[in-house]
Structure 1
Amino acid sequence: WKKVARGLSAGRVQSVAVKLVVEREREIKAFKPQEYWEVSVDTLTQAKEKIRLEVSAFQGKKFEPTNQQQAQSAVDFLTVSDYVVSELETKPTGSKPRAPFITSTLQQTASTRLNFSVKKTMMLAQRLYEAGYITYMRTDSTNLSQDALQMVRGYIEKNYGGQYLPAKPNFYSSKDNAQEAHEAIRPSDVKTLANELDGMEKDAVRLYDLIWRQFVACQMPAAQYDSTTLTVQ
């Protein structure tokens, strides 16, 4: 600061940016690191099914070890112990489909599932957009137009049946500072499948398939399944 202070301006934008940097730096300096440990137990049922148990209590107290010695003490005890299921609770639960892609989630998912770099993902998305196969690929909005909702809901009912169509469209909230200038990333025409793309390279087809599946899935009902919680002593 001493070296550059005289050469800095203090406009409205710079002042706000500097304020944010200073506040963040103060948070970093005020942070006090705290050591913590987690212990889990890999077990086998009588049917030879693997179950991982998270240790939540030890010797009648909530288990919150703050050093290796405390964690190792629990490990030593658990290694020679027998386990008995004291409580089993099963309840139905649901999981809402994930939102249609925005730029950041497309990049993350393409990296995880397709092993694409951010640069490659955006390059392929640009080609798909220019060819008219997808909507604009730079967006932070999860919104879908009414035409898009009618299109995908009609496709789901026709190809999968009414049991896979919610009574009302699924809506997803965007980030507070989302620009909302463009809708979510989606196929321009849901009836166009990945294997029907003309003149697109293999990886572009794979990316389109990812976008297509996310778009269709986001307007399907929540997944229904049973969630089982075991309490073991």
Structure 2
Amino acid sequence: MEREQFRVVIVDNDPMVSYISREYLARDRRFAVAGEFADGREALRFLRGGGADLVLLELRMPGYSGEELMKDLLENDIHADVIPVTAERSGESLGRALRLGAADYLIKPFTYERFRQCLERYAQRARIAAGLKTADQEAVDHLLHMAQAAAPPADAGSGREQRIMDCFRETPGRSLTVREVAQALKLSDVTVRRYLKRLVDAGRIVSDIDYNTGGHPRILYKLP
């Protein structure tokens, strides 16, 4: 079941960044600001009450850092996802944030498009996870956006990518699975999945989840 709205808490000691985050969030009706804090400890007290689904967090908070807040969320079993929105650029900080469960990582200054991508990926992962009773590998790969972190295919924009697009153009309006495209082109599921994720990210095709299968949900792809 897809939820109506995600409750977001902004934790940042820079009022301008908090304002920008709030304004960008207002452009997406799936998200609503539940609270704004310039102090991490105040945010933790609020979050203990279960008041948020997502935290947009500056890691460089004075006194009580964003990283400390992430650790306390885990230790206190507070179920809120965290996306660092931060000026911290070091690889060590990125690694620590990922080990602490960061759902994404947005470096200041950021564009609206990159902010929007964070929200879109978060909403899609949450939607898939909420609908899963059991998971197969395709659903897990889609959930984690493995292909997005991988290097782009060597012939991106031509060759196989063009052949995959032709599959959809030959059957306009029809949704296809990874397996159907792979069989039509005599390619592996893994290869096709990478290209499909790339095409989704580029907006050339769209994906959806079919839960009405009587078993594992399926990822479906079609032209916009």
* TM-score bucket of the superposed structures, by smaller chain: under 0.3
Structure 1 or 2, whichever has the larger Rg, is: 1
Bigger relative contact order, structure 1 or 2 (CA pairs below 8 A, ≥6 apart): 1
State TM-score, norm by structure 1: 0.23
State TM-score, norm by structure 2: 0.24
Greater fraction of residues in helix: 2
